[in-house]
Amino acid sequence: MKHIAVFASGNGSNAENIIRYFNLQDLGWKVSVVVSNRADAYVLQRAARHGVPSVVMTKAQFNNQAEMSLVLDQYSVDAIVLAGFLLMIPTWLIARYPDSIINIHPSLLPKYGGRGMYGRHVHEAVVAAGERESGITIHLVNEDCDGGKVLYQASTEVLPEDSAEDVERKIHELEEVYYPAVIASTLTGCELGECMAKVMMH
């Protein structure tokens, strides 16, 4: 069995979908730990509900190579998945997990990416610019903020009357369908269609 660490800072709907996908069926990979930089993040309750251990680390602890390595070793982490994680990933961590750190960004990168473009800010910018479509970008993480190799993009229509909340809801629907499957395809090498067939909608 190989092990995934999910890093998340907030609500954790993506984290929970990923846990469901990998931990409720036998794919050779499972989520062994959730790491959060916020003690009050709702993702911690979601992890607990699924019996997945979680670790809360301050920004300083997270950036401390020795401390972070202890956690990664303790949970035998082979790959890292970011799911609404708001800290930058240090260079040493990227070097330790080459092509094995995956992120999702809630826009069609390179549009609406980079510093300050996260969560609701992205959808507000999309609506303010009068865009007629938005989407998700699933990508590998490298040293450039939102700049790693794109693994998959999916788009959705933005209607003139859509609010930022409406766009956010549409984006979450795309994330639910695609993120676990693209992670599985990247890690296990299965065809995306095959991986999609294993998505358990609720």
Using an 8 Å Cβ cutoff, are 30 and 184 in contact?
A: no
Of residues 72-111, which lie at the interface with ligand GRF (CB under 6 A)?
83-84, 104-106
Binding residue for ligand GRF, selected from 2, 3, 11, 142, defined by CB under 6 A:
11
Q: How far apart are CA 172 and CA 79, in angstroms?
A: 23
Q: Which CB sits closer to ligand GRF, 12 or 148?
A: 12
- Judged by CB under 6 A, the stretch of 4-12, 57-65, 72-80, 150-158 that binds ligand GRF is 4-12
Q: Which CB sits closer to ligand GRF, 1 or 120?
A: 120
For the chain, what's the residue count? 202
Least CB distance to ligand GRF at residue 41 (A): 8
Give the contact letters, 115-154, x = binds to ligand GRF (CB under 6 A), - = no: ----x-----------------------------------
User: Within the chain, where are the H helices?
Assistant: 13-23, 43-49, 59-63, 65-74, 91-96, 120-128, 164-188, 192-196
Residue 173 burial (10 A CB sphere; 0-12, 13-18, 19+) = middle
Binding residue for ligand GRF, selected from 175, 181, 182, 184, defined by CB under 6 A:
175
- Judged by CB under 6 A, the stretch of 5-13, 26-34, 55-63, 194-202 that binds ligand GRF is 5-13
- Judged by CB under 6 A, the stretch of 3-11, 88-96, 147-155, 183-191 that binds ligand GRF is 3-11
Distance set, CA 151 to CA 14, 88, 135 (Å): 17, 20, 14
Using an 8 Å Cβ cutoff, are 108 and 133 in contact?
A: yes
Q: Which of 3, 105, 123, 202 is catalytic?
A: 105
Non-local CB neighbours of 120 within 8 Å, separated by 6+ positions? 164, 168
- Give catalytic residues, as residue numbers: 105
